[in-house]
Each structure stands twice: as C-alpha cells, then as structure tokens.
Amino acid sequence: MADSAMTVRYAVVVTIGVFLLKSCSGEETDIKLDKKAQLLHRLDSLNLLLYTFLLILTVLTIWTFKHRRLRFLHETGLAVIYGLIVGAIIRYGFTNSSTIVHMPVVPEPDGSHYNQSVPPDTLWLRFPESKGDGTTKNKTFAYSFRGEIYKRDNEIDLKATFDPEIFFNIILPPIIFHAGYSLKRKYFFRNLGAILTYALIGTTISSFVIGALMYTFIQLIPHLASSFTFLDTLYFGALISPTDPLTIISIFNDLHVDVNLYALVFGESVLNDAVAIVLSGSIQNYAERYQSGSGGFETWAFFQALGDFIRIFSLSLFIGATMGCVTALLTKFTRVRDFPLLESALFVLMSYSTFLIAEASDLTGVVAVLFCGICQAHYTYNNLSVDSRQRTKQLFELLNFLAENFIFSYIGVSMFTFPKHHFDPGFIFAGFFCALLGRAVNVYPLSFLLNLGRNPKIPSNYQHMLFCAGLRGAMSFALAIRNTVSDARQAMLTTTSLIVILTVILQGGATTQFLSWFNIPVGVDEEVEVLSYNGVRSSAGDGGFGDPESRRERSPTYDSMQGGSLSMGGSTSKTNEKALLARIWGNFDTHYMKPLLTHSRPTLLDTLPVCCGPLARILTTTQQMTQDNVARRVDSDSDLCLEDRDTDRRRTSIQPVSYHQPDLNYTNNPCYSHNGSAPSNSEEPYVVLNFTQK
C-alpha cells in the first residue's frame, strides 16, 4: 500500500534546521485546491444555513399565527411561501457570477478501449502541473459522474439544491415512521376496510385514470405528444395520486374533528404513500422489461409488473413487521430498559435499519418503515421504559416536524433554483385538471361502493371533505425529483411542484372553511365519541357492554373485534366476514403475538397447548407472570391508542384549548368565532348521530 502510494508522491526537499520555518509545505496546486475546497465548504454551509433560517422563520411565524389564532395559513403552506420568496431572490437577485470552471474533454486517443453504451462512472484526467522550477509534472485527477448537461447553470442555483437521494434516505424515513408510530390504531383498525379500499384500490384507479386522461390530453398538443409515452403519463398518475396528510391532520388535531374522519384521512394518506411508491416502482420496472422486449403491449410484462407490485409491497411489509417484532423481542428479553439511553438508541437504530434493509434488497424502504412504525407502537412501545417511550415519541415528533418543514421549504426554493424544471403550460393545466379528477374518481365511486356494504355509511359531507383533503405533498415531490433525466420527467417535476404548492397553500388554507361548509362536527372529544358509539352499539342489541372501563377489563379483544368496519347492528354478510377476519386476527394477536412480544397477559403458558409448555415457559418473562391486573389494564389500554393520555397532553400542548371539557363546541372556541357560519354546528350531537341523520 505504501509502495504504490510512493509512486505518486510529490516531494519537496527541505533540509534546513529544526525550528527554522522554511520553504514550502505542499505545492501551489495543492494549496489552491485547499482554498477551493474551503470555498466549496463555505458555500455548503451557506446553503444549509439558508434552509435553517427558512425553518427558523417558519417556526417563528407559525408561533405568531398560533398565538394570534390565525388559521388561514398552515405551517407547511408558510414554509412553501417563504421558500418561494427566497428561491426567487436567489434566482433573480444575484448576478450570474459563476465560479464553476468546466473543461470539455474527449476520450484519450490512444489506449482508450472503452466500448460500453453507458457513460463511464469516473473520468481520469491527466493534468499538467507547473512546479516552482519551471518544469511540469502530470497528476491524475478523478471526476465522478453527475448527470446530463442541458444548459449552463448558475452556481448558486446548483448550490441551493440537494441530491434527490437525500429526500429518500434522510428526510422521508422519519416522516413515514412517525406516521406509523403515532397512528391511532384503535380508529385506524375500526375503519380499516374503508382505508384499505381508498388507499389500495383508490390510488390504483386514480393513477390509471390520471395516466389515461393525461395521455389523451397530450395527444391534443402536438409538441408534447412526441415526448410522452403512456408509461410516462401513467408514472405521473402514480406519483401525483398519493395525498399528504400533514396540513389537514394538524388542523384536524387543533379543532378535534371527529376521530373517524380523522382516521379515514390520516390512514388513507399514510397507506397511499406506500401504494404510490410501489406502484411507480412497478411502472418503472415494467418500462425496463418492456424495453428489452419486442414492442407492443406485453401481457407477460404487465403481469410481471403486477407481480412486482404485490411482491414488493408484501415483502416490504414483511420486513417492516419482522424488524418491529425483533425489536419487541430484544426489548422484552433483555433488560436493556435499565439503560434508557441504550434502549432509545437501539430503538432508533433498529427502525432506521429496517428502512435500509428494505432499500438494500431492492424493496421499498418507505413501506417497510411504515409497518415497522406500526409494530413498534403496537408491541415494542409496551416494553420500553417510561424514559424511552417519551424520548422516542418526542424525538420522532421533532424529526418529523423538521423534516416536513424542510421538504416544503425546499419545494418552494427549488421551484426557482432547481436547474431541471420545464414549464409547459399545457401539461401543467392538464395536470391540475387530472389531479382533481383523479381524486374525485378515488373518493366518490369507492364511497358509494363502500356504503353499499357498511351500515354507518360515510355521509356525503365526509366524502366532500375526503375529496378536499386531497393535498399533494412530500411523497409526490420526492418521486418527481428523483428522476429528471428526460424532458417529460422535467415537465412532470414542474407540474408536481406547482400542484403541491397550490394545493398546500389553497386547500390547506381553506380547510377550516371546508369543515364549516360541509358541517363537519368539530370539537369532538375522543372519549365522548367512544361512549356514544358504544351506546348505539349496545342499544342495537350487541351485548350489555355499557361501561367502557369494565368492558375493556372483561375482554381485551373488544376493540380488535370491531376492526374492519363501523358495523352497527345491521349485519350484512360482508360486514360479518370482515368482522370475522378482524376477530381472528384480534384473537391471534391477543393470544399469541402480544404474549410473545410484550409483557402482556394472558401469557403463552395460558394460551399455548399443554404440549408446548417448556417452550412457553422460555418465552414468558417473570415480569409477565408476576404483574398484577392493574398493570395489565394499563398495558392493554395503551395498546389501543398509543396512550391516549400522552396524545392528549401533546394535543393540548400544541393547542391550548381545554380538550376534555365535554361542552366544548364551536361557539366556545375562540378561534372559530370569526368564521361566521360555524355556530350552526354547535347544537349537533356527536359523530354517530351525525352519521345516521343522513
């Protein structure tokens, strides 16, 4: 190693005495390179500083808005607007004083035996360096591949952008994990049927409808028709279909919108991100396979793509769930909880490695990390020490907040500074129209179909709200910016950025207005809802589970048994089927998964057949056997909803309106009094009545 390094050593002879500082350390070129590296480092720092300041500005403005109870603009909208302003300043405020020097090169004439069809990964440039004594010496410098060149770019433009991979490896994982970790599983599972329908079927339908419509549009515009294929527009459909819950959910949180609507909106957004990323991956895979084929519609390639979709989705889900369970086992069977810092570190590392494992196996890290988050909340969370519970929740909440606002600032800034935008009015107009239509095609027909099978129907005002909650956000942008090699992709990026910006600002800003237009009940207390819901249930002859507390104690599977649908006495066969499936899973979860993975009761000793006694004994901890009923109740409770109490605390800390106040309504809510139309809602009873009054 030393020998080979010797060959390139450049030596400057210095032989004067010890303390006499004498000629010269390194050569001129090296020092210039050092200076250049310093300059680049400074630009990097400036670049990061820009976004840090944007975020600080956003935080301070959000605070002002919250403080003054202004609700017309949400923090993500603010981040985008600040980003746009700063982006415009960078673009038009600075003169084009490009300091990047480029040199056109050609392959070395002799000895160049490069014959591949792709450009090489690195170029080696032999560069003559003049030495002090007038002679020159050749050095070889390496250059690594960056991408295709379309035009000369302003350096600061380049500088205010980040490698798109950063979004996928650094920014998205905490956002998605947080979504899974903070999911209110009780209401999520209760509405699982509807959520899955919207997310899986709805997103797919929406993608294909948008793809087809866009393709039709494009045929009408000659200069576009040549650059877009159907696969391109289909890809656009897939990337523009997922909705972003941030803005809506945070307003829902502030206003305590009915939890079932909350669950529908949030659950769908979380899952359709996962669906969209897998779908777009499958479309790309199809394109690749197709490319190597003979042309024409290839049934085989189509089914391969379908198989890809199913394989990638389920394998990613499997990896996520497995890693979640492994973490649960690790935290259950080691006493690492004695050292909360180690425990938290382990939790974070295991969760991040889930993402990386999936990505390294060519699966989808986002899907894996989402289901990992759900499993961590469902199992591991119960094993953690109090310190780690709090620490992990607070950590991911903060990371999520910073990552979200960063991505929205970036969307704003990059609108002006990202060099690979392509503004095409026709495509942009078509994109907006199709995005709206795609959302409608997702929500209304599926709600109609769902309402055929479920008894507490999804009322039409909820459907309108679901439609209006279809903001586009981080995932669409990340997918669009990931690949900008072709002109078509660049037009897609521009259109996606614009759709994200406008929906976040306009739809996000109008959310409270929508809520009052559609008469959506707000200020609904979670506990109250549960009570009335339960009351209706029992009056429909479903058993005498009047008191929720005693009910939970008697049957820990109560809530999982309700999973799948808002079944309310009227029991069509479909409802029964779903309930059956949910009940089977609920039973399995309570009897085998949770005793295995957490310290909950009943233990495996109680649930496994006698022949498995020794195994069960190994898998049951002392803590599990010795804990009393109180501990068990808390455990099973926290399990339902990631500790309602903590969530409440966080809520109240964000929105200092008393939350458990049972008579909280529109008119009492100071932030609403200026909305005019709101008080009409104040007399409405809570959600279930609202469900049935239609």
Q: Which residues 421-480 are close enough to bind its own copies by CB under 8 A? A: 421-424
617 binds its own copies (CB under 8 A): no
Per-residue burial over 288-326, b = 16 or more CB atoms within 10 Å of its CB, e = otherwise: ebbeeeeeeeeeebeebbeebbeebbebbbebbbbbbbb
CB of 281 to its own copies, least distance (A): 10
143 lies in the site for its own copies, by CB under 8 A: yes
Tell whether residue 96 is a contact of its own copies (CB under 8 A). no
Determine, following the binding rule CB under 8 A, whether residue 284 of this chain makes contact with its own copies: yes
Q: What's the CA dihedral at 412, 415, 417, 419 to 10 degrees?
A: 150
Residue 491 main-chain phi, psi, to 5 deg:
-65, -35
**Of all helices (H) and strands (E), which one includes residue 430?**
helix 425-453
The Cβ-side half-sphere exposure at 531, using a 13 Å CA radius, reads 10
How is residue 136 written in tokens? 């020159």
Residue 167 interacts with its own copies (CB under 8 A)? no
Among 95, 97, 142, 628, binds its own copies (CB under 8 A): 142
Residue 304, classed as helix, strand or coil, is helix
Query: Does 629 engage in binding with its own copies (CB under 8 A)?
Result: no
Q: How far is it between the farthest Cα atoms of the chain?
A: 101
**Of the candidate residues 191, 203, 243, 344, the single one contacting its own copies (CB under 8 A):** 344
Query: What is the CA 200 to chain-centroid distance, rounded?
Result: 16
Rounded CA separation 643/651 (Å): 12
Candidate residues 89, 306, 452, 485; the one interacting with its own copies per rule CB under 8 A: 485
Cβ neighbours, 10 Å, residue 474: 25
| C-alpha Rg value of the chain to the nearest Å | 29
Q: How many amino acids of this chain bind its own copies (CB under 8 A)? A: 160
Nearer to its own copies, 345 or 436 (CB): 345
Reference 571, options 542, 530, 532; nearest CA is 542
User: In 3D, which of 330, 373, 334, 331 has the Cα closest to residue 351?
Assistant: 373
CA distance 354 to 494: 32
Closest contact distance (angstroms) between CB of 434 and its own copies is 13
> With CB under 8 A as the contact rule, which of the stretches 139-147, 366-374, 561-569, 607-615 interacts with its own copies?
139-147
To its own copies, the closest distance from the beta carbon of 308 in angstroms equals 14
Q: Which of 12, 220, 584, 634 binds its own copies (CB under 8 A)?
A: 12
Residue 660 interacts with its own copies (CB under 8 A)? no
And the tokens for 661? 């106040």
Q: Comparing C-alpha atoms, which of 100, 168, 54 is closest to residue 414?
A: 54
User: Cβ of residue 681: shortest distance to its own copies, in angstroms?
Assistant: 26
Using CB under 8 A, which of 197, 229, 519, 532 touches its own copies? 229
- Determine, following the binding rule CB under 8 A, whether residue 356 of this chain makes contact with its own copies: yes
By CB under 8 A, the residues from 389 to 408 that bind its own copies are 390-391, 394-395, 397-398, 401-402
Q: Minimum CB separation from its own copies for residue 130, in Å? A: 6
* Cβ 209 to its own copies shortest distance, Å: 12
Of these, 14, 220, 310, 506, which contacts its own copies (CB under 8 A)? 14
* Closest C-alpha to 51, from 96, 82, 92: 82
Nearer to its own copies, 417 or 681 (CB): 417
Told to check if 56 binds its own copies by CB under 8 A, we report yes
Shortest Å distance, C-beta 6 to its own copies: 7
* Residue 486 in contact with its own copies, rule: CB under 8 A: yes
483 makes contact with its own copies (CB under 8 A): yes
- The answer to whether residue 141 forms part of the interface with its own copies (CB under 8 A) is yes
Which amino acid, 602?
Answer: P
Q: Return the number of the residue (104 or 544) whose C-beta is nearest its own copies.
A: 104
333 binds its own copies (CB under 8 A): no
- Pick from 313, 314, 55: which is nearest to 171 by CA? 55
Q: Which of 452, 654, 674, 694 binds its own copies (CB under 8 A)?
A: 654
